[in-house]
Structures are given as structure tokens and as C-alpha cells.
Amino acid sequence: MPLSTQSIVVGLLSVLIGGHYSGLWTFPTRHVVPEDATRWECRPFLPNVFAETPPPADHPLVRDASSRLDGFLSSRFAKGDIDSLSVAVVTSKGPVFEKNFGVMRANESDSPKTTSHSMYRLASVSKLFTTLEGLMLDQKGAISWDDPVNKYFPGFEYRLDGFNPSADTPPPSQAPITLFQLASHMSGLGRDWPPGTVHNWPNDMTR
């Protein structure tokens, strides 16, 4: 589906404005920026241009960008220092690019190859995405950071004694773990789940 003139104009303006505020280029203004100013300091958010009308995957520019991205990822993975890699570019209408490389378990000779449904161990960088999504849901009124975890997982159980068996255990209503505590690493929960299998993941959190 061809893009409208308005979409193209808005897209070009967003690129020009984004490049100006990110420091890639500048427009002549009366304001003089000190040479020692931090390049990325206090930059505003870029306009959310394609949220409602994202470009389709078959658009020529998207196809060209996808081809170049595929080439870069393929050459990078060919260096052999990455066991597996899954990359996706997703818009509000769905994915416009998906590619998977390698195998799910590199220490096994007969491991299946990665797919778009392969699950990876969450590392520390995932905290950024979780917190950002939480802030967006909080702005929309869908959640509150002060909500207890039990509001969303009624069967969720955890230790209330602070790992001190001799201490008096408060009732759950007086010691709830909140979403804010989870996001800020102040919940007191351990880093690993107990051994077990979640049979209906991700539709069910129970074992």
C-alpha cells in the first residue's frame, strides 16, 4: 500500500528534527551551544510517527532495509562467536523483519535450531524493557506501581519472614510485594525459581 504524501512529509520532518536534537546535524539558530556541551544530554523524545500507520513489510524501503539488516546479521553471525541469535523488528501491526540464527543449545550435537518462538534466558538488559512497558501501562491507568503482585497472580506465594524463621510472620496484607519493588529489585525474592516445569507457558504461570 503506497504511503500518503502527508505520511512522507511527517516522516521526513521527524528525521530532520530527530537528527537535529540528537546532535547528528544542526540548523542555524540564535542559540549558541557551548563546545563542551554533552552531545546527548536532555534530548526530547522523538515523535511517535508510525504508531497508528506503520509502514508495511512489503514497502520497498522496508524491504531494502530488511535486506541490509539480514546481510549484516548474517556476516556478523558467521564470525562464530555467537551461539544463537533471534532478531525481530515489530510495529503495531506486527513484525516487518524476523531472522533466527544458530541452535538452541550449543553444547549439544543434535540441538534443534532456533525459531521465532525460542526462549532465551533473561539477562540484565531486559529490565529496561520491562520497566519501560510498566511506565507506559501506568500512564494509561492499566496498572499502578503500588499494586501488589497478588492482584495479578492471586496464587503467588513468598516468604514474609525476611528469611528469619524466628521472626514473627506478618500477614500478607501487611507485607505485600508491589510492582515497584519488583522493578527496583527491592522485593526480597531470589534470583532463580525453584526447579520445575511450567507446562503451559506463557499462558499459565503455575507448575
Domain limits of the chain?
49-118, 121-206
Among residues 52, 56, 126, 138, the alpha carbon closest in space to that of 97 is found at 56
Place of cell 506478618: 170
At residue 7, the 3 state secondary structure works out as helix
Residue-level pLDDT at 141: 92
pTM over 0.85: no
pLDDT number for residue 47: 72
- Please give the chain's pLDDT, 207 residues, in tens: 566 676 666 666 676 666 666 555 565 655 555 555 555 555 666 677 777 788 888 989 999 999 999 999 999 999 989 899 999 998 888 899 999 999 988 888 888 999 998 888 777 778 888 899 999 999 999 999 999 988 988 877 776 655 556 667 666 666 788 899 888 888 877 666 656 666 776 666 554
SS3 (DSSP) at 27:
coil
Residue type at position 174:
Q
β pairing state of 84-91 and 94-102: antiparallel
pLDDT value of residue 50: 75
